[in-house]
Structure 1
Amino acid sequence: MKIGCPKEIKPQEFRVGVTPNAANEAVAHGHEVVIEAGAGIGAGFPDEDYIAVGAVILETAQEIFAQADMIVKVKEPQPGERKMLREGQLLFTYLHLAPDPEQTKDLIASGATCIAYETVTDRNGGLPLLAPMSEVAGRLAPQVGAWTLQKANGGRGVLMGGVPGVGPARVVVIGGGVVGTHAARIAAGMGADVTVLDRSLPRMRYLDDIYGGTFKTSYASAGNTIELARAADMIIGAVLIPGAAAPKLISRAQLSELKPGAAIVDVAIDQGGCFETSRATTHHDPIYDVDGIMHYCVANMPGAVARTSTIALGNATMPFMLALADKGWKKACEDDEHLLAGLNVHAGQLTYYAVGKALGIDVISPQLALKS
């Protein structure tokens, strides 16, 4: 199979879908690998690193899309990239379709087979290709939130750890999954007073057992959420429903109940965000003010630490990429129900229920798509 990796074109996206290490493995498996010139530079991988392991450098994305049987990326294909997809081609990347009807429509129209990193599962019910970036985004959230809290950026002017005689910032993390746990650990490590909200009692017991001396937990009822939010200097949204649009947990009307200059960091913005006032921003212009509340809603947070993120993502995606290349997508998905869970679009039809529900589009089961 010919595996193609174009350069990411989303604003301030410096990651790359295929690392030199992954390219080396693919070549060793007998596959051809074509990389767009300069695709890895943002993550610290010059073209020479790819050439050294047997990959071929092509000058344009158009050449990559025209030649490759499988396209491996990081972020969802942008409008120009979607026009280059063709019937029968395989796309393996993050998609986040539920809040993105235009992308969904274009992918269906392309006739391509599209497997989304974020809905591939594992035997423990986890999301192994989302987890590495969730870990990165979770660890970044308090860092960027602390920056947003600075007075020069419109924030309250509160230091995360305080100083002797002055209390620390109060941080509320909504969601106790991978993002929320990592966010809480880092915020607590910065000296903040941290509370994690979640609706799963077993998850809260786990967090309390492991991190009870580090941060607190509380049940994520609507009343508890707004009560804790009122007292917070920073609120980190970390709620995930796999493949579906994120629930809206704080309304615009409720912003008036928050502290002026409080910082909202919405890590769920890829799935539409978990605050009513959230809208996607970029690293170039990351924050905005709504009713005196500062919002940080960068849709590709891990792109800020592109080298760490690229290597972490590549470690997770490489075995699946190789299985798809070695066996073809049908055989690979027949052999691995967890990879099949990643199938979102095939041959002009949507194959992921949560996306269909969010967008009002008819869905066929991935099992039926395998037989088509």
Structure 2
Amino acid sequence: MLIGVPKEIKNNENRVGLTPAGVSEFVKYGHEVYVQATAGEGSGFADAEYEQAGATILATIEEVYEKAEMIVKVKEPIAQEYPLIKENQLLFTYFHFASGEELTHAMIERKAVCLAYETVELSNRALPLLIPMSEVAGRMAPQEGAKYLEKPLKGRGILLGGVPGVKPAEVLVLGAGIVGTQAAKIAAGLGAQVTVMDINLNRLRELDDFMPKNVTTQYSNEYNIRAAVKTADLIIGAVLIPGAKAPHLITRDMLKTMKPGTVLVDVAVDQGGCIETCKPTTHEDPTYIIDDIVHYCVANMPGAVPYTSTLALTNATLPYALKLASQGWRVACLLNEDLRLGLNVVNGKVVYKGVADAWGLELTDVNQVLNENTMFEESTFMTV
């Protein structure tokens, strides 16, 4: 298969879809890889490293899209990429369609095959391609929150861990999944007093067993959230409903009950955000203030640490990408339920319920799409 790796052009996105090591694996299995010039520079990988691994360097993004049968990216295509996408071209990347109506309609119109990292799902409901970036974003959230709590950045002027004789900051984490767990761990390590809320009591029991004593757990409901936001200095939104919009747990009216200079970090922003006043921001202009409350809502937080993020992401995506390349997307998805759940939009049809529900679109059974015109011999594809 012909694999294309374009340079990410979203604002301040320095990650890249494939490392030189990943290119080497594709080449080993007989695939051709085309990498846009300087695509890996932001993550610390030079064009020469890709060439040594067996890739062909192409000068422009247009050439990459034109050549490739499968595009391997990090973030969803943006408007200037839409015309470059070809019918039946496979795009393997983060999409977050439930928070992007324009993107959804564009991919339907282009009749591309959109396989989203964030909805590839294991039988135990784990999200293997979302976990690495959730780990990065979760660990970054207290770090960014601590920075914006500083007075010159319009925060309360409070040190997260306090000092002897001075109480530490109070951190509220909404959600006890991967992001929330990592956020609580780092905030606690910095010395803050942390409260983690979730509706999954079994998960709260697990956290209670291994978290340090400065982390407490509490059942999540509106009453408890309204009480907690009044004393919190930093609130981290870490809610995820796979493939669907996040619910608004922090509403606009709650802002007036918070202390001026409180910082909100909404890690769920790329799924619509769990804070009603959230809107996507960039690393270039990361915060805004409403009712004296600092909002940090960067939609690609891991893009600020691209070397770590790119390596972590490729570790997770490469085995799946190799299956798609060696078996073809249709066969790979028929044989692998994890990948089948990653299909969101296929040849103009929405095949993922969360996306259809978000925008009131017709849902097509993914199995119907997979079995359309499917004829293959097991001997015609490679096992990876």
The normalised TM-score by structure 1 is: 0.99
1:213, CA displacement in angstroms?
2.7
Distance (whole Å) between structure 2 residues aligned to residue 203 and residue 86 of structure 1: 43
1:214, CA displacement in angstroms?
4.6
Q: What residue in structure 2 maps to residue 235 of structure 1? A: 235
1:250, CA displacement in angstroms?
1.1
Distance (whole Å) between structure 1 residues aligned to residue 214 and residue 131 of structure 2: 22
Q: What residue in structure 2 maps to residue 306 of structure 1? A: 306
Q: What residue in structure 1 maps to residue 322 of structure 2? A: 322
1:212, CA displacement in angstroms?
5.1
1:122, CA displacement in angstroms?
1.3
Map Cα deviations across residues 352-372 of structure 1 (whole Å, 9 max, x no partner). 101111111111121111012
Within 5 Å, which residues of 2 pair with 1:1-372? 1-211=1-211, 213-372=213-372
CA contact (8 A) 1:72 1:93 kept: yes
Distance (whole Å) between structure 2 residues aligned to residue 107 and residue 297 of structure 1: 25
Once the two structures are overlaid, the 10-residue window that deviates more, 172-181 or 123-132, is: 123-132
Q: Secondary structure at the match of 1:83?
A: helix
Letter in 2 for 1:52: Q
Q: Secondary structure at the match of 1:98?
A: helix
Distance (whole Å) between structure 2 residues aligned to residue 80 and residue 18 of structure 1: 21
Moved over 6 A (4+): none
Distance (whole Å) between structure 1 residues aligned to residue 183 and residue 365 of structure 2: 35
Q: Secondary structure at the match of 1:38?
A: coil
Map Cα deviations across residues 248-289 of structure 1 (whole Å, 9 max, x no partner). 011111100011100000000000111110000000110110
1:242, CA displacement in angstroms?
0.2
Unpaired stretches in structure 1, ≥5 consecutive residues? none
Map Cα deviations across residues 165-208 of structure 1 (whole Å, 9 max, x no partner). 10000000000000000000000000000010000011111111
How many correspondences in the alignment?
A: 372
CA contact (8 A) 2:188 2:212 kept: no
Task: Please give the root-mean-square deviation of Cα atoms over the aligned residues, in Å.
Answer: 0.7
Distance (whole Å) between structure 1 residues aligned to residue 97 and residue 112 of structure 2: 15
Distance (whole Å) between structure 2 residues aligned to residue 146 and residue 96 of structure 1: 27
Letter in 1 for 2:96: H
Letter in 1 for 2:370: L
Letter in 1 for 2:158: V
Distance (whole Å) between structure 1 residues aligned to residue 318 and residue 122 of structure 2: 15
CA contact (8 A) 1:4 1:34 kept: yes
Q: What residue in structure 1 maps to residue 382 of structure 2? A: none
Q: Secondary structure at the match of 2:284?
A: coil
Distance (whole Å) between structure 2 residues aligned to residue 197 and residue 276 of structure 1: 18
Distance (whole Å) between structure 1 residues aligned to residue 207 and residue 89 of structure 2: 43
Distance (whole Å) between structure 1 residues aligned to residue 6 and residue 213 of structure 2: 46
Once the two structures are overlaid, the 10-residue window that deviates more, 206-215 or 328-337, is: 206-215
1:29, CA displacement in angstroms?
0.5
Distance (whole Å) between structure 2 residues aligned to residue 231 and residue 219 of structure 1: 17
- Percentage of matched positions with identical amino acids: 54
Q: Secondary structure at the match of 1:166?
A: coil
1:210, CA displacement in angstroms?
1.7
Map Cα deviations across residues 326-363 of structure 1 (whole Å, 9 max, x no partner). 00001100111011000001011011101111111111
Distance (whole Å) between structure 2 residues aligned to residue 213 and residue 156 of structure 1: 25
Q: Secondary structure at the match of 1:122?
A: coil
Distance (whole Å) between structure 1 residues aligned to residue 128 and residue 164 of structure 2: 42
Letter in 1 for 2:211: Y
Distance (whole Å) between structure 1 residues aligned to residue 320 and residue 177 of structure 2: 23
Letter in 2 for 1:31: H
Letter in 1 for 2:280: A
Unpaired stretches in structure 2, ≥5 consecutive residues? 373-384
Distance (whole Å) between structure 1 residues aligned to residue 293 and residue 147 of structure 2: 14
CA contact (8 A) 1:37 1:58 kept: yes
Distance (whole Å) between structure 2 residues aligned to residue 13 and residue 214 of structure 1: 35
1:123, CA displacement in angstroms?
2.6
CA contact (8 A) 1:8 1:15 kept: yes
Q: Secondary structure at the match of 2:289?
A: strand
1:125, CA displacement in angstroms?
1.1
CA contact (8 A) 1:185 1:214 kept: no
